[in-house]
Amino acid sequence: MKIIDLHNHTNFSYDGHDSAYEVVENAARNGVDIIGITDHQFSIGDRIGEYIAEMERLKEKYKDHITVLCGLEIGTRPRPQDFPAVLSEKLDYCLFESLDDDRAMDLYEFFEWKRLFKCDIGLAHTDIFKLCEKYGVDLLKILKRDNIFWEINFSGNYTYYYDFITSREKQRMISESGIKLSVGSDLHWIGDFDLKRLVQTNELAARLKNPLPLGITY
Ligand SMILES: [Zn+2]
Task: Write the single-letter amino acid at 77.
Answer: R
CA of 15 to the centre of ligand 1 (A): 9
154-193: burial string, b at 16+ Cβ within 10 Å, e else: bbeebebbeebeeeeeebeebeebebbbbbbbbbbebeeb
CATH class of 4-208: alpha beta
14, 45 contact by CB (below 8 A): no
CA of 39 to the centre of ligand 1 (A): 7
CA of 95 to the centre of ligand 1 (A): 9
Average pLDDT over residues 190-208: 96
91, 49 contact by CB (below 8 A): no
The torsion of the CA quartet 171, 35, 86, 188, rounded to 10 degrees, works out to 90
Residue 84 has pLDDT above 90, yes or no: no
Q: Which residues sit with Cβ closer than 5 angstroms to ligand 1, an ion? A: 73, 186
CA of 187 to the centre of ligand 1 (A): 7
pLDDT at 19: 98
pLDDT at 74: 93
Domain boundaries, the chain: 4-208
CA of 183 to the centre of ligand 1 (A): 12
d(CA 160, CA 76): 18
d(CA 20, CA 58): 8
214, 183 contact by CB (below 8 A): no
- For 41-82, how does the pLDDT look when each residue is reduced to its tens digit (9 = 90+)? 999 988 999 999 999 999 999 999 999 999 999 999 888 877
CA of 38 to the centre of ligand 1 (A): 7
d(CA 121, CA 167): 26
CA of 72 to the centre of ligand 1 (A): 9
pLDDT at 77: 86
Pairing of strands 67-74, 148-153: unpaired
Question: Cα dist. 146→139, 179, 213, 216 in Å?
Answer: 10, 10, 12, 18
The DSSP bridge partners found for residue 95 are 73, 122
